Each structure stands twice: as C-alpha cells, then as structure tokens.
Amino acid sequence: MAAQPPPARIEVDGRTLEISHPDKVFFSARGETKLDLVNYYLAVGAGVLKGVWERPTVLKRFPNGAEGPFFFQKRVPANRPEWPHTATVHFPSGRSAEELCPLDVAHIIWAVNLGCVDFNPWPVRDSDLDCSDELRVDLDPMPGVTFDDVRRVAGCVHEVLEQLGMPSFPKTSGSRGIHINVPIEAKWGFTDVRQGALALAREVERRMPEIATSKWWKEERGTRVFIDYNQNARDHTVASAYSVRPVPNARVSAPFTWDELDGIDPNELTIFSVPERFAAIGDPAAGADGLACSLQPLLDLARRDSEERGLADAPWPPHFAKAPGEPTRARPSVRRAP
C-alpha cells in the first residue's frame, strides 16, 4: 500500500491548520485536489466570509471528493478544536443543534479539511437567531428550461424589487439557476420573511406566467422556472456566495452585477476562473455592506394577495406541519447533490 502524503500546513488568521490528504482529487474534470479547494477559498476569502460571517452554517461533507457520497452534519463534531465559534439553532421539530458560525477564513478552511465543498448558512446572525437579515430568492429551473429563461425571470425579480425600493444582489447558483439576495432589517421572523418571498414569487408569476411559477408541487410547475419561496423557511439554507458546488468542473456560486445578467455564463465561473475575476473586479455584492431595507413592501403585497385576490398560504416544506387540505406524500423528497 502506498504511503499517504503528509498533511499540508496552512497559515491563516494567525492559526496553523493541517489539511489531511491534500492530494485527493475532489473534482474530476480538471483534477483539482482538496488542497486546490483550500487555495481557492484562501484566494476569495473576503468574499466567501461575507456570506457566512456570524451565520450558523451546515457542514455538508464529501469525504471522498465532490462527486462521491455526502452527508449533512448540522452539529459540529465533538472532537473539534477549542477555537471554532458556534451557535445553537432550533429546528421546526423543537430539537436544536450547535452549528459552526464562522468568524474568519480559518473557520472556512477548517471546514474544508472536514470535506466541506460548499457552505450552507442560515439567513440569520448569531446576535439574533430568530430574525432573518436576508431574504433569499432561489430561481430553480425545471428540466427543459434554458438559462436564458432563468435570466428573464431574474430580470423580472429585479424589476419588482426595484419598484418596491428594495436592493438586490444576484449570483449564479453554481448549478442551473440564479440566487438573488435582498438585505433586510433583522426585525422579522422566518414566517414573515417567507410570506414576503411568497408574495414576490406570485407577483413575478403574474407578470410572466409562461416561464415563472410559484407552485410548490413539481407536477404543477410544467416547463418553467420555480421561484422557491420556501428557502426562507426556518432550517432551509442555500449555498453561499463563492461556494464551490459539488460538480465535476467545480462551478462556483458567483456574485455578478445586474449589468452582467445578459452575458453571465455559469459554466465559466469555476474554481479555476473565479479567483482571477475576484482579484480583477472585487466582489460585485460589496454594495450590500451596511444595507438593510424594510420587508414591509412585500408584506403589503402579501396582504393584497390575501384580501383582494383571495389567495391563501402556499405549501410548506415536508418537515413542517401541513395546512388543512394540503396533500401529504408517502415519503419525503430525498436531498441530493446538484
């Protein structure tokens, strides 16, 4: 049996971290290794840290590389060092977990050594774990939908938010969709933010029903872009900005400007290219720093949906209590890597 290579040692934020199995190939298309993944996160450290800073973050671990089996670890390992910062979050079931809550890039590199490829933070900070400071729009194209249609729906989301006076910051999902983050004041709970996201989804659907849908059940979506309002429910997360996604060519969930929307190509934004882009133009989402708008315009839209249009609430994720008359399925959906 060949001898294992010694751990690599990385100096970051005043700490020395050991990277085990640094030569293990994590991405097959170009052969990037675990150490390449570490070096990527060091190169975009300021950008990725902004997306997870002080946020409880699920550990999504790929012990055998990005294309191998993975598991979600909500509770930080018991045998961790003393210094990683954590926060205790509570789930809809009433249970709780102590999750990683990064304060610096060293936290990110520590998690990568555990096999984390991407990062999945809650939309809250550890100063208030019950009030979101970010509304998240997840545009999820159904099979057969082109990325041009995703762009069109993203443009409509931007238009609606601009009309409501709400700033927004887009990024590729790293898969087939687009994420749009809206910085909000941390004064509304998960239920209110989800309600606002649902109202936004329904408004976009009204404006372009041929390609946009807010329908939760896949059987009702057709060949359209699903606007996943439930990503704002408690215990739901999306990949953070600059997260590398577990796909062979190591695509990145990369921020871009609204002026770039028509030309952005997710396949060109990879672990290989994004560090150079980051060094050249900085973080396109830097304008979000210090911004926090009111959720009230979307809550007003939700009220009109209810009072004037007679629209009831929409289905919740499978692990939430069902509304009266809402169908249940024999088995919950299985979460898979994108």
Domain boundary among 71, 106, 127: 127
Start-end of H helices in 235-332: 274-281, 296-307
Residue 146 has pLDDT above 60, yes or no: yes
Q: What is the pLDDT of residue 324?
A: 54
Question: Cα 255 from chain centroid?
Answer: 12
The residue among 155, 142, 151 whose CA lies nearest residue 172 is 151
User: What's the first-to-final CA gap in the chain, in angstroms?
Assistant: 34
Residue 336 has pLDDT above 50, yes or no: no
Per-residue pLDDT reduced to its tens digit, 245-284: 999 999 999 999 999 999 999 999 999 999 999 999 999 9
| CATH code for the domain of 224 | 3.90.920.10
Q: How far apart are CA 123 and CA 193, in angstroms?
A: 10
- Same domain for 301 and 168: yes
State which H helix or E strand residue 304 sits in: helix 296-307
Percent pLDDT > 70 in the chain is: 94
Q: Is residue 328 in a domain? A: no
Q: How far apart are CA 264 and CA 254, in angstroms?
A: 10
- Same domain for 92 and 35: yes
Residue 335 has pLDDT above 50, yes or no: no
Q: Is residue 333 in a domain? A: no
The set of residues, in sequence order, having a beta carbon less than 8 Å from that of 315 and lying 6+ positions away, is 216, 217, 230, 323, 326
- Same domain for 104 and 202: no
Q: Is residue 72 in a domain? A: yes
- Poorest-confidence range of 89-93, 234-238, 334-338? 334-338
- Facing residues of 172 across strands? 178
**Cβ–Cβ < 8 Å for 6, 18:** no
Start-end of H helices in 60-189: 105-113, 147-163
- Same domain for 303 and 175: yes
Name the band, by pLDDT with cuts 50, 70 and 90, for residue 319.
Answer: confident
Q: How far apart are CA 178 and CA 164, in angstroms?
A: 20
Residue 333 has pLDDT above 60, yes or no: no
Name the band, by pLDDT with cuts 50, 70 and 90, for residue 162.
Answer: very high
Residue 331 has pLDDT above 60, yes or no: no
Q: Is residue 162 in a domain? A: yes
Which token pair is 189? 């709970």
- Same domain for 142 and 212: yes
Question: What is the length of the chain?
Answer: 338
The residue among 191, 239, 186 whose CA lies nearest residue 52 is 239
- Same domain for 180 and 209: yes
Enclosing domain of residue 161: 131-237+290-307
The set of residues, in sequence order, having a beta carbon less than 8 Å from that of 288 and lying 6+ positions away, is 167, 169, 181, 183
Q: Is residue 180 in a domain? A: yes
- Mapped onto helix, strand or coil, the DSSP state of residue 35 is helix
Q: Is residue 23 in a domain? A: yes
**What single-letter amino acid sits at 235?**
D
Give the predicted TM-score (pTM) of the model: 0.92
Q: What is the pLDDT of residue 334?
A: 39
- Same domain for 230 and 296: yes
Domain boundary among 69, 100, 127: 127
Mean of pLDDT values over 316-326: 67
- Same domain for 59 and 135: no
Which token pair is 94? 């009433």
The residue among 72, 89, 151, 81 whose CA lies nearest residue 124 is 89
Per-residue pLDDT reduced to its tens digit, 115-138: 999 999 999 999 999 999 999 999
Q: How far apart are CA 187 and CA 127, in angstroms?
A: 12
**Cβ–Cβ < 8 Å for 199, 299:** yes
* Mean per-residue pLDDT over the chain, rounded: 93
Per-residue pLDDT reduced to its tens digit, 210-250: 999 999 999 999 999 999 999 999 999 999 999 999 999 99
Q: Is residue 259 in a domain? A: no
Q: What is the pLDDT of residue 328?
A: 52
- Same domain for 136 and 100: no
- Same domain for 96 and 54: yes
Mean of pLDDT values over 88-100: 93
Q: What is the pLDDT of residue 317?
A: 86
Percent pLDDT > 90 in the chain is: 88
- Same domain for 184 and 45: no
- Same domain for 114 and 86: yes
Region of residue 225 (left: phi > 0; alpha: psi -120 to 50; beta: else): beta
Domain boundary among 103, 127, 151: 127
Our count of domains for the chain comes to 2
Q: Is residue 332 in a domain? A: no
Q: How far apart are CA 212 and CA 150, in angstroms?
A: 9
Q: How far apart are CA 118 and CA 138, in angstroms?
A: 16
